[in-house]
Structure 1
Amino acid sequence: MTTISASMVKDLREKTGAGMMDCKTALAATDGDMEAAIDWLRAKGIAKADKKSGRTAAEGLVGAASAENKAVLVEVNSETDFVARNDAFQTLVRNVAGVALTTDGTLDAVAAAAYPGSEKNVSDTIKDTIATIGENMSLRRVTQLSVSNGVVATYIHNQVAEGLGKLGVLVAIESEGDKAALTAFGRQVAMHVAATNPLALTDGEIDATTVEREKAVFSEQARQSGKPESIIEKMVEGRMRKFYEEVVLLKQNFVINPDLTVEKALEAGAKDFGASAKIVGFVRVALGEGIEREQSDFAADVAAAAGKK
């Protein structure tokens, strides 16, 4: 049997918001499997699906750039937010985003591309900036969307400078309609994505493992009602429909007009676009998403510095 340590209990508590004893019980019941323990707590109604894992922030900036039928987001990380407010760093991120538009959008291609006004590539320019500013930096992510006919709208939430901020969204819309109207609507959808963070554009694009995991949790919750299997099956179907409405972009209630889903709002916008339109993709990049940062014990650090045990 796996030994349940205090750090495991603390980690589970931070991820779920459940009580210490509930977390310890969950870990014991699942032999220390963190993900299984989260599901155990959810099934018991003790924890929500919205875990805190994956939200750890790293510093730096997300930059956006767009051109005809194409747009990109880049994430450049730094050690401190102080550097993110530095003009030189902001210029670096803005230029890297511009360079990304001229490539196929892969990380390697952007890193190897020529940096504007320099004989060096992006990778070497970042190294030079590290030496100049005195803080470690890295080009972490590049993402690009394009359409054959239509627009790719961009949105930077709480931008600190033009095209730069902590959260960026792209929304690609295929249509032969008016591009100005499509861009305006696409920006609204991008704002919606920033706020709701959908898992996928359609039901079919959700990872099968995620779907099965949700079904398993809902099934366990339903069985606790003591109802027959035939009723439980219908209960699970209903909860899965609700799940899709919450996490699938086209099925979510549009934050700009909650009386319509995003899909219905798109259909209603056809008269403004002058043609039918289809959302074919979206991407949301939050600064530092998924980066685990080491948490230090300040009191212990001070004691260590003072030579105390």
Structure 2
Amino acid sequence: MKMSLTFLFRTVTKDFVKGNVCQHVQSLHMGCQLLAADKVLLMKLRKSTGYTFINCKKALEKFDNDITQAETWLHEQAQKEGWSKANKLEGRKAKEGLIGLFVGENAAVMVEVNCETDFVARNEKFQQLVKDVTFATLAHHRSKTQSQEGYVKSALAGDELSKLRMGEGASLADQVALTIGRLGENMSVKRAVTVGVPAEWHIGSYVHGTVSGQTEVAMGRYGALVIFQGGKEEEWDTLGRKLGQHIVGEAPLSLGNMDDLPCGESETRLLPQTFLADPSRTVAQFLRGQQARVLDFVRFQCGEKVGEEVE
């Protein structure tokens, strides 16, 4: 027994000196590192793409933990599946969704993107789609109006919007299909309007039912853009917001004239309407007090029926 223990000790020592044990330990250590790296890559891939654990794991295994190739493959697969799912869901009604609104320097854009349920409208991936549509539309507006001066207003229907591209990347139609593939509901880009104003004009805006956590693009069930002139510089934001609130709340159909008389509760012209923020005055009377005038406005309500063209 004593000789066996001695022999075993010498054998282990010999192996250790030769580096065999070191190699075994090193191999085990590297294996642990690899497993840890897999987990880190998996979590990173899931966070960046939003795809399921199983699909991300499959992608990493397919490309030997190359996260770039794995992400590209996932997008391609999701897009294929998204187009297939989009075709299957095409007939299903999509009346929910969000209005997206962004006001920049002398330009603004308002879009409507639809889905089937309010639950999906609250999903961050759907909200990212709304943001993508908003900025793709704004980029299109700026590229088309670089040489134009004065007031520029344009409307785009869904088929026109679908052809727009996100920078140098995918079209909005591809992005919609990708989001359908991720969330499993029918979706559509319904309409958009863009405005560009000269330096002395101002753009007011308001979104009702705002989605919390959004900063760059305001999102909600209702939205309004109002183009106005005059007023005190320090009050432009407040003035634009109050006018936008009124337009959302009272839903005027036309502008009217500053001297128009109200025609009762069914008044659909903006200027003769009773001002929402001060019922003792009409909108026209409020504007006179502010030494301002409204030049144009646009109102979107999510899911409302509109003609083939956005007015």
TM-score grouping bracket, smaller chain normalisation? 0.5 to 0.7
Equivalent residue for 1:59? 96
1:113 pairs, out of 164, 170, 174, with: 164
Change (3 A) 1:88 1:178: same
> Is 2:268 the partner of 1:247?
yes
> Is 2:226 the partner of 1:171?
yes
Change (3 A) 1:192 1:133: same
8 Å contact from structure 1 (residues 201, 281) kept in 2: yes
- Mapped to 2, the partners of 1:66 and 1:82 lie a distance apart of 27
Residue type of the partner of 1:67?
G
User: What's the TM-score, normalizing by structure 1?
Assistant: 0.57
- Mapped to 2, the partners of 1:197 and 1:91 lie a distance apart of 28
1:8-45 residue CA offsets vs partner (Å, 9 max, x unmatched): xxxxxxxxxxxxxxxxxxxxxxxxxxxxxxxxxxxxxx
- Between 1 and 2, higher relative CO (CA 8 Å, sep ≥ 6) is seen in 1
Task: Tell me the CA shift for residue 243 of structure 1.
Answer: 4.8
Residue type of the partner of 1:160?
V
Long gaps (5+) in structure 1: 1-55, 205-239, 271-276, 292-309
8 Å contact from structure 2 (residues 228, 294) kept in 1: yes
8 Å contact from structure 2 (residues 274, 280) kept in 1: yes
Task: Tell me the CA shift for residue 178 of structure 1.
Answer: 4.5
8 Å contact from structure 2 (residues 204, 226) kept in 1: yes
User: What's the TM-score, normalizing by structure 2?
Assistant: 0.57
Change (3 A) 1:178 1:68: farther
- Mapped to 1, the partners of 2:242 and 2:288 lie a distance apart of 14
Equivalent residue for 1:138? 188
Task: Tell me the CA shift for residue 255 of structure 1.
Answer: 1.2
Further displaced range: 260-269 or 105-114: 105-114
2:211 pairs, out of 149, 153, 160, with: 160
8 Å contact from structure 1 (residues 150, 179) kept in 2: no
Equivalent residue for 2:251? 197
Change (3 A) 1:146 1:263: farther
1:209-263 residue CA offsets vs partner (Å, 9 max, x unmatched): xxxxxxxxxxxxxxxxxxxxxxxxxxxxxxx951597221111111111122111
Further displaced range: 103-112 or 158-167: 103-112
8 Å contact from structure 1 (residues 146, 172) kept in 2: no
1:116-144 residue CA offsets vs partner (Å, 9 max, x unmatched): 5x721212111111122111110001022
Change (3 A) 1:57 1:125: closer
Long gaps (5+) in structure 2: 1-92, 142-153, 307-311
> Is 2:184 the partner of 1:129?
no
Change (3 A) 1:61 1:258: same
Secondary structure, counterpart of 1:254 in structure 2: coil
Across the aligned residues of Structure 1 and Structure 2, the Cα RMSD in angstroms comes to 2.6
Q: Provide runs of 4+ in structure 1 moved above 6 Å.
A: none
8 Å contact from structure 1 (residues 71, 153) kept in 2: no
Residue type of the partner of 1:77?
N
8 Å contact from structure 1 (residues 77, 139) kept in 2: yes
> Is 2:285 the partner of 1:268?
no
| 1:40-119 matched pairs, under 5 angstroms | 58-104=95-141, 105=154, 106-107=156-157, 110-115=161-166, 119=169
- Mapped to 1, the partners of 2:236 and 2:266 lie a distance apart of 24
- Mapped to 2, the partners of 1:170 and 1:280 lie a distance apart of 11
Change (3 A) 1:136 1:57: closer
- Mapped to 1, the partners of 2:185 and 2:233 lie a distance apart of 42
8 Å contact from structure 2 (residues 115, 121) kept in 1: yes
- Mapped to 1, the partners of 2:160 and 2:233 lie a distance apart of 29
8 Å contact from structure 2 (residues 232, 290) kept in 1: no
